[in-house]
Structure 1
Amino acid sequence: MTSFDTTVVICAYTADRWDDLTAAVASVRDQSAPPREIIVVVDHNPELERRAAAEFVGVTVVPNAGRRGLSGARNTAVGLAKGDVIAFLDDDAEAAPDWLEQLLAGYRDRDVLAVGGSARPRWPGGRRPAKLPAGRGSVHGELDWVVGCTYTGQPTAEEPVRNLMGCNMSFRREAFTLAGPFSEDLGRIGRTPLGCEETELCIRLRQASPGARIVFRPQAVVRHRVTPERITWAYLRRRGWGEGLSKAYVSRLVGSEAALSTERDYLSRTIPAAVVREFGRLALGRTAGASGVLGLVTVVSSTAAGYLRGKAQLRPPRPRPASALAHGPIHIATVDARTAPEELPVPHRPVGHYRAAQVLVRDGDRTLDVLLLPVERGVVRLPKFATAPAPRRRPEFTRPPVSVVIPTAHRKRQAVASARAALAAGYPHIEVIVVDNLPRLPEGDDWLRGEVEALGARYVVEPRKGVSIARNTGARVASHGLIAFVDENITVEPGWFDAVTEEFAADPAVGCVTSLVLPASLETDAEVLFERLKGYSNSVRWQRIDRDTAREDPLYPLSMARYGPGSCATWRREVFEDLGGFDPLLGAGTPTMAGEDLDLFVRLAYAGGAVVHTPHAVARHIHRADWLELRERMRGYGVGLAAMLVLSVRRRPVTAFSILRRVPRGAARLASRTPELPLSDRAARSRLRQLRRDERLGLLGGAAALMRARGEGGSGRR
């Protein structure tokens, strides 16, 4: 078992559960892995607080210092806890003697930030009611979540999950540093059956640290008492209604895609199977089958009604306090897990101050995570990091030569810096080709030529406008079998080529490798908004994308986020040439403005190819610092996406049906990718709405832009 100091938190609000609370505290005291401390938080009930403080010797008893409700009570305990792991147990649940031991065993992997266990019901009279049915011999039923217990459909062995159950869950302390506290706009208040605060926190934790894992470990067991009041028809309706309202609020906070991913599978598989089973019992003359069907229908319909009512609410809940981190300026930093200090100093700015820091966490040449952390009094408090490096998938391999193509137009000084960074990255077999796509004279730009050749790189002129044409020209003159396309405003960091070529060496079927692209600066509001809307720092997990591995994504192959940035990607020459290269009708420098990267990825997907995204290859992107430039860039994304879709349909008319089927889900995902901004910051909210309008307006102009591109001489792929 992994050794941790643990804090166990029990929240209570009524003296009616005194016997249950006493049993819960006793079960924690009897653990095979005793906790460092037990904290009982009493929710605005002074009489219960005094009684608990007098009778629970050796237990810290405190009042809820936050808003009334379970979330406020839990946040109070988190602020006081001293343990490395904070575990939560309901006041009407009893933990098995090895409960903590089993929870802590789930933390053997450093990527695990939260572990939860199963909850078994203690029914009144010791018998399961027919209205909450279960399969033969099963201790769990499909509706047991209504009474706060593990339900049919959850994993039966240790497995990563989206979220944990509130009565039996634990978190590493740093999880609250990363994600912030429980939302006090969610959670139960007294007997009101609202919830989902732990669901929202777990989703937010994954968003703050995409490399994090949340694990369900059914061996960690608690027994949850079910009162007679909780098995009445009135409570089932009220509980379902409250769950639906809560899910609607969560979807407003984190997006419906994340908030309802588990529920869709539950409704499409688990519930229909239960209904069929109960009708089968009814056909055999068992009256319990009728109660089971009615219970299923009552709870599901009440939940659906509550969700629809919640979605119709005009006022969303207040954003969490950590939402201020999405509003700049933001300090950029890199730390090594082996030598990271407990506190990272943040430099002073000439005007204003940093509210947050984006911290890239490395372990040698491996990326562990990208964190967004608050800046307090000029320092960032860093969580504890694993000291063992992530294992290499292929420690030794022959490093193949790489050609680097850097197209440039208006930002030629940035192109020189990009070429210099590529040559300084420490890779032994490399050629750098800078393609001048906006030469002052037909023979080229003398200044740029001199700077490039002084670096030992090649200078090539391509007077025909368009980044796609420039990239294709660079690929045509390249000497090597791997071609890295790096935009002029991107600089690769040391080790980038080693991490990329490692993937090609490990898997001959991979046609393209993309990398982790982080911002070079987040000083202006435009830079911060671009990062929150279109940045790539959320892709910190290694992944291989092909037809088989991407089936769970309903937008594949049209989901750009799955591939990583095409503006810093490396291709096998033969794959790139078989696809025909980038389409000259798409991309910067043409009326369509963008879309060329996704177009090439989509063609690769339809051809059965594979893309690998590696977070261990890190590059930095210079975001648009000017507000008007950012608006134009956002419009360009919309124009390019629409043009790319039209072009895809023209090439393969059969894809029209596939695209139309994905449009509603794509629009919902686009709307859900809204950064958390303080409601009080009217200027930031106004600018955010403007950027969304610009992107939507761009979508409307995509077809017309494609026609103009054809009229200007585009002739398809090279």
Structure 2
Amino acid sequence: MAARRPPAPHPPVRRVRPRDDRNRGPETMNTTVVICAYTQRRWDDVTAALAAVEAQTVPAGEVILVIDHNPELQQRAAAEFTGVLVVANSGRRGLSGARNTAIELAKGDVLVFLDDDAVPERDWLEELLAGYEDPRVLAVGGAARPAWPDGERSPLLPAGGGDGELDWVVGCTYTGQPRTEEPVRNLMGCNMSFRREAFQLAGLFTEDLGRVGRTPLGCEETELCIRLRQASPGALILFRPSAVVRHRVTPDRLTWGYLRRRGWGEGISKALVSRSVGADAALSTERDYLRRIIPAAMLREFAKLVRGKGFSGLLALFVVVGATAAGYLRGKLSRHRLRIRVSTPKLVHGPIHVATVDIRDLPARLTVPPRAVGHYRAAQVLVRDGERTLDVMLLPVRHGVVQLDVLAAGTPVVARETGFERPLISVVIPTAHRKAQAVESVRAALAAGYPGELEILVVDNFPPQEAGDDWLRGEVERLGARYLVEPRKGVSVARNTGAVASTGDFIAFLDENISVEPGWFDAVAEEFVTDPDLGCVTAMVLPASLETDAEVLFERLKGYSHTVHRQRLDRETVREDPLYPLSMARYGPGSCTTWRRTTFESLRGFDPLLGAGTPSMAGEDLDLFVRLARAGGTVVYTPHAVARHTHRADWLELREQMRGYGVGLAAMLLLSIARRPIGVFSILRHFPRGLARLAARTPELPLSDRAARSRLRQLRRDERYGLLGGPLALAKAWKRHRVDARSRPR
């Protein structure tokens, strides 16, 4: 069936479509519209659907047309449709496999699914996106009005005025659905949309359900929506009747045979769904439908029969309901069970080449250098338009070559504002054990090409002697930077020391293993100059190398940058997130941030009880962002400021780092409760879901790769064990901090 009320009231490579993502509201969210097609008989329908998407009042960020195992149709579509990414279904044959293919390729924040024989109204996309005002809403769907073959309703589908009780048979809105905007249990497949994170929480469409060719099975969207509600009980699935599509009804669907097959397929599908998510969840709406809607329709049609106005409507009700019940019983006797796929990025084993290309001078192919041992199977490619970021893609490497001719340049992105006055930026680089990397970080900052003035301060947090490290001092001063010594251990203390000694109105904190790329300071300064209320700017941080298994695993588990879209986050947008304060990680890593001095000083800097070099080991950046949100501050994440991070290349070091993340998270939460005890209720309520969301980022590994699975489980265990050690670590950090405070001269 189509959308139902809830039980309680209440591969291929994608093309680059450059765009500027400033000041985005729900009406301008980055969207991906997905249309799946399987036959050339619907060519005119597909053409009409794409034309209607192009004419929307709110344009889509990208449009993906997935062809379900039909090479001729794919070739024709790729040749005739411009501005559309045409790809082949890389999954099992069927609608669910085609949709999953699009999910894995799409880059939009919201993924919108439209049937190939449905034509949306001009404000359709605008109406769908308006439903995402509430951050609890993870899915929004709309109404489907039938487009009858002769323009008039078929007598086989009875109606008492308006929608008919059996219109779900032809994929349209039916009697019993809400007339106004309301939460529902699930959406209609021909007109629905989801936030990207919905697939991270619930997984993909199960490929054991869904239409395959002309076989009238379904319920894949029902099963997904129920799983989504089970994975996130506080989530809302919204039905907006104002978001309308016109769903074409072909004559072959208005026959007695089709009614029987459609009811039979619906019953079988419902039986499979009940096995997957439980009978109560799978049948709650159907029971209400059979108790209220169907009896009323039968009484009305029987009255028509008595008055001599025909019996086809009454007979259709008996046929469809009977066939559905028979199909359900047949499905319950089956031993078949659904297999659920998890929506996570596929992990490429072995080394991954890291590269950057500029779309203004784009070669047809990228030659990958050979390795002494083994070879590259994939390349992580940063696509830029000058100093503007367009995309980050994982592309296959075949015979030492990456094909780039599939990238379409499109229209140029909005150029950077060059007329603003560039302020003085102070760069603080703390270092402890990797002093040579700190020197390279200074060189990268100087080579970033900032026309304004830079003040670079390197804070030695682990000097071999009280006066400092002579070699490091010489290298730093030779480059024109300042060398400071901070004997008290802890990256937070070192950053605060550098901030106090700096003179710029803006302070950039870069870890010793961070190297900024050209244009980084320009992109950061532009944000501050154009927004006087802005307190902090975070940047896109990509790996400098993905040569070892440890580096690849870290990037998949804890990679710092997950979107190429600019984001502006303030107290309202973040605190309304049901996972606050765990959601503060959306701000980005504190190891590559720039703060307005007045904002940083009002927050009293990083907490010395947290961070690397302390028993707490981590959590200092998340803690500072939480305090900023409570103070009503604002952060902007800009993908145009790109930096490279040197990941842990050693397996044992990575395990220790994962344990440190767990220790730091627990210590940060305890410290946050100590400052604001009432916050314990929010943390306790959201903590289990936060852990579940972290687990949802687990990469999808081949079943045969036992070594990779074993390592992945070990990293997860290390992080969980770290959580248990957080309280003791915070106590040790507090004790050491008091000793340092007493021993420090006034």
Fold match by TM threshold 0.5: yes
2:376 maps to which of 347, 350, 354: 354
Residue type at the aligned position of 1:348: P
Q: Deviation of residue 165 (structure 1)? A: 4.3
CA gap of 1:623–1:28, structure 2 versus 1, over 3 A, is: closer
Q: Deviation of residue 347 (structure 1)? A: 1.8
Matches within 5 A, 1:57-136: 69-70=93-94, 120-121=145-146, 125-126=154-155
CA gap of 1:583–1:363, structure 2 versus 1, over 3 A, is: same
The answer to whether the Cα contact below 8 Å between 1:165 and 1:198 also exists between their aligned partners in 2 is no
Aligned to 2:477: 453
CA gap of 1:552–1:440, structure 2 versus 1, over 3 A, is: same
SS in 2 for 1:125: coil
The answer to whether the Cα contact below 8 Å between 1:325 and 1:355 also exists between their aligned partners in 2 is no
How far apart are the structure 1 equivalents of 2:113 and 2:674?
A: 56
CA gap of 1:402–1:657, structure 2 versus 1, over 3 A, is: same
Which 10-residue stretch deviates more, 656-665 or 24-33? 24-33
CA gap of 1:454–1:603, structure 2 versus 1, over 3 A, is: same
SS in 2 for 1:510: coil
Aligned to 1:475: 499
1:381 maps to which of 387, 391, 403: 403
The answer to whether the Cα contact below 8 Å between 2:570 and 2:633 also exists between their aligned partners in 1 is yes
Q: Deviation of residue 661 (structure 1)? A: 1.4
How far apart are the structure 2 equivalents of 1:696 and 1:649?
A: 20
Tell me the TM-score normalized by structure 2: 0.66
Which 10-residue stretch deviates more, 490-499 or 217-226? 217-226
CA gap of 1:586–1:31, structure 2 versus 1, over 3 A, is: closer
Matches within 5 A, 1:518-537: 518-537=542-561
SS in 2 for 1:442: coil
The answer to whether the Cα contact below 8 Å between 1:69 and 1:188 also exists between their aligned partners in 2 is no
Aligned to 1:209: none
CA gap of 1:148–1:422, structure 2 versus 1, over 3 A, is: same
Aligned to 2:12: none
Tell me the TM-score normalized by structure 1: 0.69
Aligned to 2:693: 669
Aligned to 1:462: 486
Cα deviation per residue 1:500-549 (whole Å; 9 max; x = unaligned)? 01111111111110000000000000000000000123132101111222
The answer to whether the Cα contact below 8 Å between 1:117 and 1:221 also exists between their aligned partners in 2 is no
Residue type at the aligned position of 2:558: K
The answer to whether the Cα contact below 8 Å between 1:407 and 1:436 also exists between their aligned partners in 2 is yes
Residue type at the aligned position of 1:709: A
Aligned to 1:580: 604
Q: Deviation of residue 713 (structure 1)? A: 2.6
1:679 maps to which of 703, 709, 713: 703
CA gap of 1:232–1:681, structure 2 versus 1, over 3 A, is: closer
How far apart are the structure 2 equivalents of 1:696 and 1:448?
A: 37
SS in 2 for 1:384: coil
Cα deviation per residue 1:180-201 (whole Å; 9 max; x = unaligned)? x99856644545435359989x
SS in 2 for 1:391: coil
* Percent of pairs with identical residues: 57
How far apart are the structure 2 equivalents of 1:525 and 1:622?
A: 14
Give the RMSD, CA atoms, in angstroms.
Answer: 5.2
Are 1:640 and 2:668 matched, yes or no? no
How far apart are the structure 2 equivalents of 1:32 and 1:586?
A: 53
Are 1:195 and 2:220 matched, yes or no? yes
1:542 maps to which of 566, 575, 591: 566
How far apart are the structure 1 equivalents of 2:718 and 2:221?
A: 34
Cα deviation per residue 1:382-433 (whole Å; 9 max; x = unaligned)? 3323343322575532111000000000100000101111111111311000
Which 10-residue stretch deviates more, 418-427 or 623-632? 418-427
Residue type at the aligned position of 2:402: V
Are 1:615 and 2:644 matched, yes or no? no
Q: Deviation of residue 716 (structure 1)? A: 11
Cα deviation per residue 1:16-60 (whole Å; 9 max; x = unaligned)? xxxxx96x46767999989xxx999799xxxxx9xx9xxxxxxxx
Which 10-residue stretch deviates more, 342-351 or 392-401? 392-401
Aligned to 1:327: 349
Residue type at the aligned position of 1:391: V
Matches within 5 A, 1:197-346: 221-225=246-250, 229=259, 237-242=267-272, 325-346=347-368
Aligned to 2:652: 628
Are 1:399 and 2:422 matched, yes or no? yes
Aligned to 1:390: 413
Cα deviation per residue 1:44-103 (whole Å; 9 max; x = unaligned)? xxxxx9xx9xxxxxxxxxxx999974259969x99xxxxxxxx9997xx8567x999x99
SS in 2 for 1:559: helix
CA gap of 1:470–1:129, structure 2 versus 1, over 3 A, is: farther
How far apart are the structure 1 equivalents of 2:693 and 2:69?
A: 40
Aligned to 1:703: 727
> How many matched pairs?
582
Cα deviation per residue 1:422-460 (whole Å; 9 max; x = unaligned)? 111111311000000000001101011011000000000
The answer to whether the Cα contact below 8 Å between 1:406 and 1:487 also exists between their aligned partners in 2 is yes
The answer to whether the Cα contact below 8 Å between 1:486 and 1:569 also exists between their aligned partners in 2 is yes
2:390 maps to which of 368, 375, 378: 368
How far apart are the structure 1 equivalents of 2:429 and 2:69?
A: 62
Aligned to 1:254: none
CA gap of 1:716–1:369, structure 2 versus 1, over 3 A, is: farther
How far apart are the structure 2 equivalents of 1:549 and 1:72?
A: 33
SS in 2 for 1:581: coil
Are 1:498 and 2:522 matched, yes or no? yes
CA gap of 1:337–1:710, structure 2 versus 1, over 3 A, is: same
The answer to whether the Cα contact below 8 Å between 1:489 and 1:622 also exists between their aligned partners in 2 is yes
SS in 2 for 1:431: strand
SS in 2 for 1:338: helix
Are 1:410 and 2:463 matched, yes or no? no
Aligned to 2:541: 517
Aligned to 2:455: 431
How far apart are the structure 2 equivalents of 1:534 and 1:689?
A: 15
The answer to whether the Cα contact below 8 Å between 1:418 and 1:488 also exists between their aligned partners in 2 is yes
Which 10-residue stretch deviates more, 328-337 or 580-589? 328-337
1:649 maps to which of 668, 673, 682: 673
Residue type at the aligned position of 2:352: I
Cα deviation per residue 1:350-372 (whole Å; 9 max; x = unaligned)? 11111111111111111111111
Q: Deviation of residue 466 (structure 1)? A: 0.4
CA gap of 1:553–1:146, structure 2 versus 1, over 3 A, is: farther
CA gap of 1:711–1:73, structure 2 versus 1, over 3 A, is: closer
Residue type at the aligned position of 1:636: G
CA gap of 1:552–1:657, structure 2 versus 1, over 3 A, is: closer
Cα deviation per residue 1:662-697 (whole Å; 9 max; x = unaligned)? 112212101101112211111111100100000001
How far apart are the structure 1 equivalents of 2:180 and 2:383?
A: 31
Q: Deviation of residue 343 (structure 1)? A: 2.3
How far apart are the structure 2 equivalents of 1:168 and 1:330?
A: 36
CA gap of 1:146–1:487, structure 2 versus 1, over 3 A, is: farther
The answer to whether the Cα contact below 8 Å between 2:574 and 2:584 also exists between their aligned partners in 1 is no
Residue type at the aligned position of 1:193: G
Residue type at the aligned position of 2:631: A
Cα deviation per residue 1:628-648 (whole Å; 9 max; x = unaligned)? 000000000000000000000
Aligned to 1:589: 613
The answer to whether the Cα contact below 8 Å between 1:511 and 1:575 also exists between their aligned partners in 2 is yes
Residue type at the aligned position of 1:529: L
SS in 2 for 1:712: helix
CA gap of 1:33–1:463, structure 2 versus 1, over 3 A, is: closer
